[in-house]
Structure 1
Amino acid sequence: MTGSRTRTIFLDVDGTYADHGTVPEVHADAVRAARAAGHRVLLCTGRPVSMLPDPLLAAGFDGIVASAGAYVSLGGQVVADVRFPDDLATRVRHVLDEHDVAYLLEAPEAVYGPVGVDDRLAARGSAAPREILDILRMPGDLAAVRFAKISYFGARVPIATLRGLFGPEIGVLPSSYALDAGDTAGEIHLAHVHKAVGIEAVVDHLGLDRADVVAVGDGHNDLEMLAYAGTAVAVEAAPAPLLAEADLVVPGPAGGGVARAFERLGLLGTASIAGETA
């Protein structure tokens, strides 16, 4: 139980707060109840803010950590906006083009890709997320695009090979988004930027105590944020390293895991969520 302490809660989106973009009502109710009880709740996602449609935000949030820690906004104020330096951006695009990897350059204002990437997405049928196609831009020349992160799919080379080609300044993780399974898809980021960096920006900006941070996640890109948080919550299907960091393990969205975590941690005040009373 949290007692009277005010907590600041960071929720991963895909596989944690939402299931393929759909938020269970019990999760939205839990967010509303926690905020009504005086706690802060922020999304902490690998998605860029351009890929956060209104239904994902409908419950109301105190801020957003997006692009896996590269972008932070609080109450509409942008606190951090880190993008790839031009030299690294050029190097990464060259490697991906050379190996015919489909990719999306993720920025706060839109998602950009090479000409034809829409067809490669569409060829995936129902696996092509609509929220990507709706905001995708293909300007032809991507040299001027400044982006925070890259999602890629359809790779014929494994993640380990790409890591070696990019060099130590670039990190590569398995995809946390439903673009592909296994070693054919991933997320490319600046090696020194991850979700805990974005959370720390919030902590510093608001003058918070790290011990009062609660983080909830399920994917590879959630490891640093769970390690950073005062209270770490993992979804039960998460990779083993996340489960090892967790103070609490809960079901995924289908099992109302976020609501269960909030109830177990005493974050709901006097509210009742789906028959559970805090």
Structure 2
Amino acid sequence: MVRYRSTARTVVGGVVRWFSPSTRVIKDLPPWAGFGNQLFFCLWASAQRQRGADLCLVRSARSTRWLEYFPLLASELTIGREDVRLSDHRDLTSWEDITAVGRPEGPTRDELTYFIERYLMPSELFAPTVELARGVTLNVRRGDYFSDPEVRGKFSFDQVAYIEVVLKRLRAEGRAPEEIRVVSDDLAWCRERLSHLDGGQHIMHFVESGGPMDDLTCVARSRELVIMNSSFSIWAAYISNHLYGDNHALIHAPAFGTRPFDGTPWPSLDPRWDIVSNIPGGWDS
């Protein structure tokens, strides 16, 4: 019966669209997409609207957790499931194209700047902007990247080796940080594995999380970041660059995004960032 109803709705929707003059296009926010991933969808939707498309995103159950912080995203770029019309057309753009920022198939850098300024900066999260103390903020993404066997096979890598590569670069440049702030979804792991980084030469501050939005604020307000292959990290870096304007070279990021990996930095990375192309033993070590 459920399959019959679904098929019937599809057929009826097709007939309605055939005879309807509606040009509105919708795209569902997939249930797997967390905050950072949903921001990429919103950026892409904003870019499409700037180019003249009548397009909006259909919120998922996970959207309500963060949209309240960004009211214009809720009112201008997204709709509830109950607002979907039979005459709406479905968009089939791939995730790879949606996240290809700065490439021909994805949003442009100017569209990214517009999106951040219009939709993110008005949030109380970024007012007033206060630069954190000197040092480096390390945003460590663990979660299902390491706890879920299927996800782990796609996204995990030796994070300690990667961080040590970054610190070695900074030390060679005479910029070894005295202080490192650690923002993570697994502070217990970080305390165990990162406390003695680089021979314990750094003062380590493990920032207790007040939730994803507090974490975003802490990381984004930092001038120098070490980020992971995480959409959340990427967005914190985008926002940090927008706030300061001159710190692109102070964003340290892994070239590795997901497997299979052919050595090409994942498309969401800004080429002005300090990209770590490899680590001892390789990304699969």
State if a TM-score over 0.5 links the two structures: no
Q: Which has the higher helix share?
A: 2
- Please identify which structure carries the higher strand content: 1
Higher-RCO chain (CA-CA 8 Å, sequence separation at least 6): 1
| Bigger-Rg structure (1/2) | 2
Q: TM-score, normalised by structure 1?
A: 0.31
